[in-house]
Amino acid sequence: MPPNASHIGTGESTALRISARSTPTAHGLGNTGRRRGPAAHAPRTRTDLDNGVRPKGGAMPPTEAVQYRLPDWTITVRCPNPGLFALLDAFHDRRSEDAEGDDPACVGPEVVVVADPQAPLAEAAGAAFDADPAVARAVTCRYDAEVQPRELMFRDVRVLIRDLWQRRLTRRRSAINLHAAAVDDGERVIAFVGDRYRGKTTLLLDTLLRHGGDLLSNDNLVVYRSPQGTMLTTVPTYIKVRAEPARRFAAMLRTRASATTHGAQMWRRYRRDPDLFPFDGEAMLPPAGFGRTRQPVVGLAQRQLVLVDVGFTDGRPELVRWPVSGAEGRAWLGGHAKWRTDAGTGRADADRSTGRLLDDLLRGAHCFRLRHTGSVDLLLEGLPGIAPRPDAAMAR
């Protein structure tokens, strides 16, 4: 974690720590995705070429290079195994060949991924780069071809790229990561704020189905200051859907997951055995297919913001307009922060700077309290200019 970052509340306490061997609660995958028991000695069914290992008497396949565009950053990835790009394409947008030249300050390192067992694992490679990012222009790491299920073979590399971006952001910008799921419809950003088990993902999916729009965030709404103003983005990670909403929205989830090879594989594997690791009863789907971009960036000044404090109810659903602001509003939103950081140093700087970010969010926002049973209809009916799509019920 950067020395200027402060963790708050009960969020992901390792969100800023480069760790390819983190616990299941930190990243949802953990380090238990290895073969265990008798399966650990099962014959390998993949060829050495599949794993990027040089065959005896043969040459290595050509190493492909792909540039990915993240918020305020472009990163180049090289790997002889196309399976890595099938995974990364589900989380990041490729930089188009006709794009204008990047600001040199926004050009990230080259990540070289190999199967060489002598190369460092992603965790060690990230730590080495983090020690002196201004000098290092390349990060070399290896992937572990023995990971099962196979869909997670490159998981460590994905986490490395995510955390390199996250650390860079927190060094350069004042930023805060909120427990919030958000939908962007081009005019409004509707953000459902709350801790775990409050129904944020259920309301997010119901909004996408009944109102439309693009996924902005699923439980990682990142707010940061840039020269262009206050911006909203997300951490590129899996969308986790618990069993009941996964059944309820199965048709939509299947369609959207099929946008990429990796998404389709994860959905099929979950449907075959939802209790099998890494799912533990939750569908895990990449963001591709849920919006026009994998890791969107939205300027706060270009949208009307709707902030909704959410929670389940056993009784009648209730929507209350909540004119929250000032210290009360900062305490509410700040209480749902996973981490906060300032480009300066120290906890006090982070608190002051991110307090201003929270004021930016609250200024002009429409704030509500919604007690729900899994439907967003009451909120949509309460917002001017919004109505559920008439074909939403048919789309279930």
Written as one string, the DSSP assignment of 191-223 is: EEE--TTSSHHHHHHHHHHHT--EEEEES-EEE
Q: Say which amino acid occupies 45.
A: T
Half-sphere exposure of 332 (CA within 13 A, CB side): 22
Instruction: Compute the Cα dihedral for 307, 202, 221, 385 and give only its sign.
Output: negative
Looking at residue 385, its pLDDT comes to: 67
Helices 250-257 and 200-210 cross at an angle (nearest 10°) of 80
Residue 168 parent element (H or E) = helix 155-172
Rounded-to-integer distance, Cα 383 and Cα 386, Å: 6
Calpha distance 277→281 (Å, rounded): 9
- Phi, psi angle pair for 310, to nearest 5°: -120, 155
- Between the alpha carbon of residue 359 and those of residues 11, 232, 363, the distances in Å are 21, 14, 6
Rounded to the nearest 5 percent, the helix, strand and coil shares of the chain are 30, 25, 45
Phi, psi dihedral angles at 71 (to 5 degrees) = -55, 120
266 to 286, 298, 301: CA distances (angstroms): 9, 28, 36
DSSP count for the chain of H helices, then E strands:
12, 19
Q: What is the pLDDT of residue 354?
A: 84
pTM above 0.85, yes or no: no
367 near 321, Cβ under 8 Å? yes
Alpha helices per DSSP H over 20-154: 24-27, 82-88, 122-131
Cα 346 to Cα 35: distance, rounded to the nearest angstrom? 43
396 residues of the chain, pLDDT tens digit each: 443 454 433 333 333 332 333 333 333 333 333 333 333 333 333 333 333 333 343 444 456 899 999 998 999 999 999 999 999 999 999 998 666 656 666 888 899 999 888 888 888 888 877 777 666 788 999 887 787 777 778 988 999 999 999 988 888 888 999 999 999 999 999 999 999 999 999 999 999 999 999 999 999 999 999 889 999 999 999 999 999 999 999 999 999 999 999 999 999 999 998 888 677 789 999 999 999 999 999 999 999 999 999 999 999 999 999 999 899 999 999 999 999 887 654 454 555 678 889 999 999 899 999 999 999 999 999 887 665 555 444 333
Q: Are strands 180-184 and 175-178 parallel, antiparallel or unpaired?
A: unpaired
For 166, the 3-state DSSP assignment is: helix
Length of the chain in residues, anyone? 396
pLDDT of 132: 72
Can you give the pLDDT at residue 22? Answer: 32
Q: What is the predicted pLDDT for the residue at 59? A: 42
Contact 95, 73 (CB under 8 A): no
